[in-house]
Chain A
Amino acid sequence: MPEIAALLARVENAASLLPPYWPLRSFIAANPLQGLENLPFEQAVTEGHRRFGGRAYPTVAMARKALADGKIDRRLLAEAAIRHGRPGLAERLLDGTAEAAEATTAAGAERSAVNRVLLKWLAAFLDEGQAAWPMPHRELGFWRAWKRLAAHDGDVPDRERLADMADDAPTALLHLTRTLSDQESEELFARHLAALPGWSSYVKWRQSERSHPWAKAAPITLADLLAVRMTLAELTGEAVPGPVAGTEAEAADGAAILEAWEESYRRRLTADLAARAGKAARTPAGEGTRPVPQAQLVFCIDVRSEVFRRHLERTGPYETLGFAGFFGIPLAVRAFGDAHAYASCPVLLEPKHVVDEHAHPAHAHLAAKHLDGRARLAGMKGLLRSLKESVAGAFAFVEASGLAFGAAMAGRTLAPAGFGRAVARAADRLRPPVTPAPRVELHHPKDGCGHDHDHEHGEADPIGLSPGEHAFYAEAALRIMGLTENFAPLVVLTGHGGATVNNPFEAGLDCGACGGNRGGPNARIVAAILNLPGTRKALAERGIFVPADTLFLAAEHNTTTDEVVIYDPAAAESRHPELFARLQANLAVARAKAAAERTARFTGVSGDAVRHVETRASDWAQVRPEWALARNAAFIVAHRDLTRGLDLQGRTFLHSYDWQADTEGKALEVILTAPMVVAEWINTQYYFSTVDNTAYGAGSKVTHNVVGAFGVMQGNASDLMTGLPLQSVNAADTVAYHEPLRLMTVVQAPVARVDAIIARNPILQTLFGNGWVALQVIDPATGAIRRRTREGGWIDAPGADGAGTGAGAPATPADAASDTEATLIPA
């Protein structure tokens, strides 16, 4: 029926309001208002309030504190307030009268029996292993399985009517909307989906994720969800709530506060960069050869890398670079000893290659023992779980094991670091640690490559990459990061991952560019490819000459403890023993410095910084193992020369870029359309989780309840709590730590090149044009810093004159329309 095709398109349209929500094990940042990015920011947040009841701007309390702390410049606030027709805002903030205009987060609706029933069945259906007895009939899909079971559910009124409903969810949905026009249906779908936005977002993800292991065992679509919800609404007679109203004054105050806060930060940053840019422009480019550093270390663009890079650079002649932490290959990795591969690349990408790992030759003799031990540990875990769930066996089990649980509890609480080490030692004895090594050459997997990646990989397909692919990705990575000459003897690709225990948001600390996984395996794979003689030869043919004595190394930066572990140190020790020893020592120095900077950001911490961060990382009671990407505010695409030595306070994503080596702008286009997009997701997730932790964040960890082994609810049952937990953005319940500012991108490149790239990428027009991301360009020739207006014009960046804050024309939509056109500077 064509009606069904049209109906499904309406469902798809309605669902475009919601971002997909990934399971917690691969915590992926998303803009909760992703579906509204086609609107200007101010309209989008108002629509977000209407749809989700979420606050649009920083609260008055946050603003007052920022004003008191000097983070908001009072003069800039006064200017912004006048621009928004709210003069006297600063005074009202300080004397406490601004609260009056601030509406409390509207719950917006009555209690919902429909949601209660739906919560119960969604949790039952979507469960990925928590329940010992899973919901029956899940293979039929949500709608059909629910229809069968709801026939026995006393919470569903008039349930005998279910028997008359169609077995096919879209057909049932068509019947439920038979009296409505297309537009009315679409609006109704949107409202029903927004009734439990978190769960709907997860269903949206599940529907799209064909390779998810549960996709076949428990298939669910948004049409299923809508069919169940709308049936329940019809049976109970419960109306779906309409949009929530907001106040104009609140929005105007909020917008003024946000702009003033952003401007205060941006002008300081701009002033810092302007000084550097001016100096760089005055020194003629290519003034002879640069000295070769002892080592080059490539870090992820993650804001946490900046702190470590800054401290490491101070220790010696090291050059550091920033690049997306998956190092450019859309990979799925089958880890050593694992049966299945996992995608380890940005979620913007489908993995296009599978690489498996085997034991490093130096550890090959331990491989069998390791795998045996692993199976034993898994067996023990299975035994414990089975006994816990045993209908009649759990009672005696509890008595036999209670003392052991008590001892574990005491150890984990009173001496977390020591206990963690002891457990690790015991596990290592049973399962001797084996360093894995990737097999990057094309080969046939000995024992299948697993089934969870159905992207064109059958059992018999070879895995790994061909020599041509090696060369292609190697060249792309080096060119995009601007590392095409002047290679150091040691080039360390440094992935990253966090360290935390008892934390459902664990993956949120890992590498976003690796799809919420640790970046170490990717670093190992790319380093191995770059060390292949064939790759070096192919690179030379393409004009990139890597010296024969340059060795690529892989490492992983632990962003919670700032430890950098270099894999395969033996190779480096034999090739460049002295350089390597010095590097190791300097990494330790940098680590201590970075740890000290980190502990200063926590409240009430004293004593040895390194020990403190290690304890924090292993403490099961710790709700703030690290600040992750909190306070992120800018994305700088430039050569490190521009920022080297500046204290950017861990607030900037740093992507290396050499404008001279990228005359066609290919590399810049990649950087702006992919890493920057991901940075925007992260930035908006932090923004919205901070301004409204209920509507857009996950709420407090202390009442979290993990559901289905993939998400969290609050308390007894609730919407699936998407976004960041309160403790990730707040230093205390009422004290925000994150500064909710929109991202500002700063690019060191000719304006014309940037303009051309924006012109051919709708996604950039959307993000810059609607105010989701601000853009400043540093002209490499003159050192002048220009800011793009939303309309696409260019003005002198406020603050670039070094005045920091002041009379510079603010670039806001209200007054930016009449701007000068770009002065085109040839590249």
Chain B
Amino acid sequence: MTPADDIAFHKLKKIEIIVKGEKQAFVADLLSRAGTTGYTVIRDVAGMGHHGFHESRLLFNDQASLVLIMAVGTEETIRKVAAGLKPLFEKSSGVMFVSDTHVVRLEHFLKAATA
């Protein structure tokens, strides 16, 4: 038996959120309130969407450039996050993707929610 066989995969949900830089703080708060234990941010995201092509060239404007925020948690946690994003996207542009994912060290991704 190799060490790799020993590893168990735990099923969780992953959420990827793309918003303008000015909304990053709101999303970060939302994630933390919902009970995610951490998140990853990628700045200056490029892409094509409803508002046309968006390229990561903005050297001088963090507020208007897009950020991608990724987080993993239980379905319940991710639902809370989505519940907070849905009304947000009524007023400001952004997208979210939710998908199934697997993690190895489950305890790293669980914590009590404050909301």
- Which residues on A are within 8 Å of B, measured CB to CB? 1-6, 8-10, 12-13, 16, 168, 170, 182, 186, 207-208, 210, 324, 328, 346, 348-350, 476, 480, 666, 669-670, 673-675, 677, 759-763, 765
Q: Could you say which of B55, B64, B87 contacts A10, with CB atoms under 8 Å apart?
A: B87
In the bound complex, do residue A13 and residue B93 qualify as a contact, i.e. CB atoms below 8 Å apart?
A: no
In the bound complex, do residue B62 and residue A348 qualify as a contact, i.e. CB atoms below 8 Å apart?
A: yes
CB-defined contacts of B91 to chain A, threshold 8 Å:
13, 16
In the bound complex, do residue A210 and residue B25 qualify as a contact, i.e. CB atoms below 8 Å apart?
A: yes
In the bound complex, do residue B115 and residue A4 qualify as a contact, i.e. CB atoms below 8 Å apart?
A: yes
Q: Could you say which of A5, A346, A669 contacts B33, with CB atoms under 8 Å apart?
A: A5
In the bound complex, do residue B87 and residue A760 qualify as a contact, i.e. CB atoms below 8 Å apart?
A: no
Instruction: Using CB atoms, name the residue of chain A closest to B25.
Output: A208
B83 interface contact, C-beta 8 A: yes
Given known contacts A2-B79, A9-B88, A674 and B115 CB-to-CB distance under 8 angstroms:
no
26 interchain pairs (CB within 8 A)? Answer: A2-B80, A2-B84, A4-B115, A5-B115, A8-B84, A9-B26, A9-B87, A9-B88, A12-B23, A12-B88, A207-B25, A208-B25, A324-B60, A328-B60, A348-B61, A348-B63, A349-B60, A666-B57, A670-B57, A673-B64, A675-B60, A677-B61, A760-B52, A760-B54, A763-B64, A765-B52
Instruction: Using CB atoms, name the residue of chain B closest to A669.
Output: B57
In the assembled complex, the CB of A186 is this many whole angstroms from the nearest CB of chain B, namely 8
**How far is A346 from B64 in the complex, measured between Cα atoms in Å?**
13
B53 interface contact, C-beta 8 A: yes
**How far is A134 from B25 in the complex, measured between Cα atoms in Å?**
28
CB-defined contacts of B63 to chain A, threshold 8 Å:
348
B8 interface contact, C-beta 8 A: no
B2 interface contact, C-beta 8 A: no
In the assembled complex, the CB of B56 is this many whole angstroms from the nearest CB of chain A, namely 11
B5 interface contact, C-beta 8 A: no
How many residues in B have their beta carbons less than 8 Å from beta carbons of A?
Answer: 35
CB-defined contacts of B29 to chain A, threshold 8 Å:
8
**How far is A674 from B30 in the complex, measured between Cα atoms in Å?**
28
Given known contacts A2-B80, A349-B61, A674-B60, A16 and B55 CB-to-CB distance under 8 angstroms:
no
In the bound complex, do residue B64 and residue A759 qualify as a contact, i.e. CB atoms below 8 Å apart?
A: no
CB-defined contacts of B98 to chain A, threshold 8 Å:
none
B105 interface contact, C-beta 8 A: no
Count of CB-CB pairs between chains A and B under 8 Å: 101
In the bound complex, do residue B80 and residue A5 qualify as a contact, i.e. CB atoms below 8 Å apart?
A: yes
CB-defined contacts of A186 to chain B, threshold 8 Å:
87
In the bound complex, do residue B60 and residue A346 qualify as a contact, i.e. CB atoms below 8 Å apart?
A: yes
Given known contacts A5-B80, A13-B91, A210-B25, A759 and B60 CB-to-CB distance under 8 angstroms:
no
**How far is A349 from B90 in the complex, measured between Cα atoms in Å?**
26
In the bound complex, do residue B61 and residue A674 qualify as a contact, i.e. CB atoms below 8 Å apart?
A: yes
CB-defined contacts of A2 to chain B, threshold 8 Å:
79-80, 83-84
What sequence of 0s and 1s flags, for each residue 69-86 of chain B, a beta carbon within 8 Å of any chain A beta carbon?
000000000011101111
In the bound complex, do residue A760 and residue B86 qualify as a contact, i.e. CB atoms below 8 Å apart?
A: no
Q: Could you say which of B52, B57, B62, B85 contacts A9, with CB atoms under 8 Å apart?
A: B85
In the bound complex, do residue B115 and residue A760 qualify as a contact, i.e. CB atoms below 8 Å apart?
A: no
Given known contacts A170-B115, A670-B60, A760 and B55 CB-to-CB distance under 8 angstroms:
yes
In the bound complex, do residue B64 and residue A6 qualify as a contact, i.e. CB atoms below 8 Å apart?
A: no
B10 interface contact, C-beta 8 A: no
In the bound complex, do residue B30 and residue A8 qualify as a contact, i.e. CB atoms below 8 Å apart?
A: yes
CB-defined contacts of A324 to chain B, threshold 8 Å:
60
In the assembled complex, the CB of B36 is this many whole angstroms from the nearest CB of chain A, namely 12
In the assembled complex, the CB of A304 is this many whole angstroms from the nearest CB of chain B, namely 21
**How far is A677 from B54 in the complex, measured between Cα atoms in Å?**
17
In the bound complex, do residue B53 and residue A6 qualify as a contact, i.e. CB atoms below 8 Å apart?
A: no
**How far is A170 from B90 in the complex, measured between Cα atoms in Å?**
20
**How far is A672 from B79 in the complex, measured between Cα atoms in Å?**
39
Q: Is the interface of A mostly helix, strand, loop or mixed?
A: helix
- Which residues on B are within 8 Å of A, measured CB to CB? 23, 25-26, 29-30, 33-34, 51-55, 57-64, 79-81, 83-88, 90-93, 114-115
Name which of A5, A10, A168 has the most chain B CB atoms within 10 A of its CB: A5
**How far is A670 from B87 in the complex, measured between Cα atoms in Å?**
31
Given contacts A8-B33, A12-B26, 4 further A-B contacts (CB under 8 A): A324-B60, A673-B64, A674-B59, A760-B54
In the bound complex, do residue B86 and residue A9 qualify as a contact, i.e. CB atoms below 8 Å apart?
A: yes
**How far is A2 from B35 in the complex, measured between Cα atoms in Å?**
11
Instruction: Using CB atoms, name the residue of chain A closest to B114.
Output: A168
**How far is A207 from B83 in the complex, measured between Cα atoms in Å?**
21
Instruction: Using CB atoms, name the residue of chain A closest to B49.
Output: A762
**How far is A184 from B84 in the complex, measured between Cα atoms in Å?**
17
In the bound complex, do residue B80 and residue A476 qualify as a contact, i.e. CB atoms below 8 Å apart?
A: no
In the bound complex, do residue B59 and residue A6 qualify as a contact, i.e. CB atoms below 8 Å apart?
A: no
In the bound complex, do residue B62 and residue A6 qualify as a contact, i.e. CB atoms below 8 Å apart?
A: no
**How far is A2 from B85 in the complex, measured between Cα atoms in Å?**
10
CB-defined contacts of B92 to chain A, threshold 8 Å:
13, 16
CB-defined contacts of B33 to chain A, threshold 8 Å:
4-5, 8
**How far is A612 from B84 in the complex, measured between Cα atoms in Å?**
58
Given known contacts A666-B57, A762-B52, A762-B54, A677 and B86 CB-to-CB distance under 8 angstroms:
no
CB-defined contacts of A182 to chain B, threshold 8 Å:
87
User: Which 9 A/B pairs are nearest by Cβ-Cβ distance?
Assistant: A674-B60, A5-B84, A2-B83, A9-B87, A9-B88, A13-B91, A4-B115, A762-B51, A674-B61
**How far is A669 from B58 in the complex, measured between Cα atoms in Å?**
7
Name which of A4, A9, A349 has the most chain B CB atoms within 10 A of its CB: A9
In the assembled complex, the CB of A755 is this many whole angstroms from the nearest CB of chain B, namely 12
**How far is A399 from B115 in the complex, measured between Cα atoms in Å?**
58
**How far is A236 from B26 in the complex, measured between Cα atoms in Å?**
32
In the assembled complex, the CB of B61 is this many whole angstroms from the nearest CB of chain A, namely 4
In the bound complex, do residue A673 and residue B60 qualify as a contact, i.e. CB atoms below 8 Å apart?
A: yes
**How far is A56 from B61 in the complex, measured between Cα atoms in Å?**
28
In the assembled complex, the CB of A374 is this many whole angstroms from the nearest CB of chain B, namely 34
Instruction: Using CB atoms, name the residue of chain A closest to B63.
Output: A348
In the bound complex, do residue B30 and residue A350 qualify as a contact, i.e. CB atoms below 8 Å apart?
A: no
Instruction: Using CB atoms, name the residue of chain B closest to A670.
Output: B59
In the bound complex, do residue A13 and residue B80 qualify as a contact, i.e. CB atoms below 8 Å apart?
A: no
In the bound complex, do residue A348 and residue B64 qualify as a contact, i.e. CB atoms below 8 Å apart?
A: yes
CB-defined contacts of A762 to chain B, threshold 8 Å:
51-52, 54, 64, 93
Q: Could you say which of A5, A10, A670, A760 contacts B53, with CB atoms under 8 Å apart?
A: A760
In the bound complex, do residue A349 and residue B84 qualify as a contact, i.e. CB atoms below 8 Å apart?
A: no
CB-defined contacts of B85 to chain A, threshold 8 Å:
9
**How far is A4 from B57 in the complex, measured between Cα atoms in Å?**
36
In the assembled complex, the CB of A105 is this many whole angstroms from the nearest CB of chain B, namely 28
In the assembled complex, the CB of A4 is this many whole angstroms from the nearest CB of chain B, namely 4
